[in-house]
Structure 1
């Protein structure tokens, strides 16, 4: 049930509006002056404010200005009620952020139409806001994932030289053993053992675009011949 705050100093007008709203199944509450109305709005956060302009304590313009400066009440739809119909009055109301402006006397249909329009437009605005927030949240998650990927890569890059240094002696041993072995069971068995022992290291080195710069051409060719390293680098 939508909660509507009516701020109106004329008791008869205030009572009539409340009766209309309650008949339409709104949760209607009221305040007899601007000061009470502004304080009530900030405490209970209504879905809509209907406010007279000329009132004691503080007027409707001051109420609207106070609500728009508070983050919790800044987006509450606001309809002015006034007997003043001058263009300058309407312009001032809109410049302060009013959503609509009803001139007294107004009919029940005019009041309900203004309320319906405000709620409909507010729903559209809030949907756009929620959609944008979801997009921003999705973008934030993508950025976080990208940052995690970058951080992981940077960590790996820092470790890479040490890993390479650990791999080189194993490859030198493989080259030494394979270099002079003739085709046959002994070489095949030796190759099988080397492939198993050097599997992770070989995968690591094959990710290096400058692998051929790490190994001498002769050593690289020997390892390529026995499929211990890729013959092409990306």
Structure 2
């Protein structure tokens, strides 16, 4: 049940408005002046406010300004009730943030239509706000997931760079020995020397093949899932 605050200093009008709204299915609360009305709005947080413009003490414009300055009550729809049909007064109220004006005397159906329209607009706004909040949370979750994937990719890239540097270093040693063995083989003076240098070449070629096989195995090993496992066992940082 929607709750409506009626701020009206004339008792008969206030009672009539309360009766009409309650018969139409609304919950009502009332205030007889602007100051009490503003305080009631902040305490009760109604779904909509009907507010007379000409009030003792704090007038309707003062009530409107007070509520619009408070972020908790800033979005509550306010419909002004006024005996003045001056367009300048209406323009002033709309500039302050009033949602609608009803000029006294007004028809009951006119009042109920204005209330229903403003409540419907507020409901639509609230729904959009909720949907935007859900969308924001979804985006934040996607961003977090993407960042995790980027972090994992960065770690894998870093590991691959370290391993590549280490493998490159490991490959250089056999290549150095191979180059040296080739040179010595060319200079060999006997079959015995040739056989010895040929054996060196075979051994170093075998080392190269072993290192290349290790590279292939490491490429298969470095997946995001395996990286997490290796980190868990503190095998990598």
TM range (shorter): 0.7 to 0.9
In the alignment, the residues of structure 2 paired with residue 44 and residue 138 of structure 1 have an alpha-carbon distance, to the nearest angstrom, of: 33
Residue 40 of structure 1: aligned partner: 40
Cα distance per residue 1:20-58 (max 9 Å; x no partner):
111112110100001001011111110000000010120
| Residue 202 (str. 1) matches residue 219 (str. 2) | yes
Query: Structure 2: 5+ residue runs without aligned partners?
Result: 176-201, 224-237
CA contact (8 A) 1:170 1:198 kept: no
Q: Greater shift after overlay, 3-12 or 126-135?
A: 126-135
CA contact (8 A) 2:7 2:34 kept: yes
In the alignment, the residues of structure 2 paired with residue 8 and residue 171 of structure 1 have an alpha-carbon distance, to the nearest angstrom, of: 92
CA contact (8 A) 1:6 1:28 kept: yes
Aligned runs of 1:61-210 on 2, under 5 Å?
61-165=61-165, 167=167, 179=205, 200-203=217-220
In the alignment, the residues of structure 1 paired with residue 159 and residue 41 of structure 2 have an alpha-carbon distance, to the nearest angstrom, of: 60
How far did residue 166 of structure 1 move? Answer: 5.1
Q: In terms of Rg, which structure is larger?
A: 2
Secondary structure at the residue paired with 2:46? coil
CA contact (8 A) 1:164 1:205 kept: no
User: Is the alpha carbon distance of 1:177 and 1:14 closer, same or farther for their aligned partners in structure 2, counting shifts above 3 Å?
Assistant: farther
Return the structure number with greater helix share.
2
In the alignment, the residues of structure 2 paired with residue 98 and residue 78 of structure 1 have an alpha-carbon distance, to the nearest angstrom, of: 6
CA contact (8 A) 1:80 1:102 kept: yes
CA RMSD of aligned residues (A): 3.0
CA contact (8 A) 1:5 1:31 kept: yes
Query: Structure 1: 5+ residue runs without aligned partners?
Result: 182-189, 207-234
Q: TM-score, normalised by structure 2?
A: 0.71
CA contact (8 A) 1:33 1:56 kept: yes
Q: Greater shift after overlay, 158-167 or 56-65?
A: 158-167
Q: TM-score, normalised by structure 1?
A: 0.72
User: Is the alpha carbon distance of 1:162 and 1:98 closer, same or farther for their aligned partners in structure 2, counting shifts above 3 Å?
Assistant: same
Residue 52 of structure 1: aligned partner: 52
Secondary structure at the residue paired with 1:122? helix
CA contact (8 A) 1:7 1:37 kept: yes
How many aligned residue pairs are there? 195
In the alignment, the residues of structure 2 paired with residue 99 and residue 2 of structure 1 have an alpha-carbon distance, to the nearest angstrom, of: 17
Secondary structure at the residue paired with 1:101? strand
In the alignment, the residues of structure 2 paired with residue 200 and residue 61 of structure 1 have an alpha-carbon distance, to the nearest angstrom, of: 77
In the alignment, the residues of structure 1 paired with residue 220 and residue 170 of structure 2 have an alpha-carbon distance, to the nearest angstrom, of: 13
In the alignment, the residues of structure 2 paired with residue 205 and residue 63 of structure 1 have an alpha-carbon distance, to the nearest angstrom, of: 66
| Residue 26 (str. 1) matches residue 26 (str. 2) | yes
